[in-house]
Copies of this chain bind each other. A is one copy, B any other.
Amino acid sequence: MNKIISHTVDLDIKFSDVDSIGIVWHGHYVRYFEDGREALGRKYGIGYSDFKKQGIVVPVVQINCDYKRMIRYEDKVQLTTTLLDTTAAKLVYEYQIKDKQTQNIIATGSSTQVFLAAESFEMMLNLPQFITDKRKEWLED
């Protein structure tokens, strides 16, 4: 799948994100990924709130993360979130966390979400129309 839209944010590492070994606890990366997804979503109109207005929820059905380096408290890191292009009824994102100074890769990951009707939790078999419309715009850019 090709990349279609992408967005980079600084990650704000909290004291409570750090575990007893002195590094960011690995489980928090899943939250960072969601924060990156939502930042991109707010920019491009495909955040959780945008889906909600359409009566759609988008649960995560698959996630993975590869940890290459550790993050310590007060490290300056950035997260790039990329939506992959697909006409299938799903959202596939890729994530890359980097050290801001050295640009060393700290972690990479991906996630897949599906579309459910918010009321019935019934799976939607096609891309929602507003996503199809946006996709055309993104491809033209």
B27 contacts A34, C-beta separation under 8 Å = yes
Q: Given A15-B34, A19-B18, A31-B27 in contact, is the A67-B62 Cβ separation under 8 Å? A: yes
Please indicate the chain B residues that have their CB under 8 angstroms from the CB of A18 in the complex: 19-20
Decide: A59 and B23 in contact? CB cutoff 8 A: yes
Q: Interface residue tally of chain A, by bracket?
A: 35 or more
A73 and B25 CA atoms in complex are apart in Å by: 15
Q: Which 4 A-B pairs have the closest CB atoms?
A: A64-B64, A27-B30, A18-B20, A26-B60
Using a CB–CB cutoff of 8 Å, the interface residues on chain A facing chain B are 12, 14-16, 18-23, 25-27, 30-31, 34-35, 38, 48-49, 57, 59-68, 70, 73-74, 121
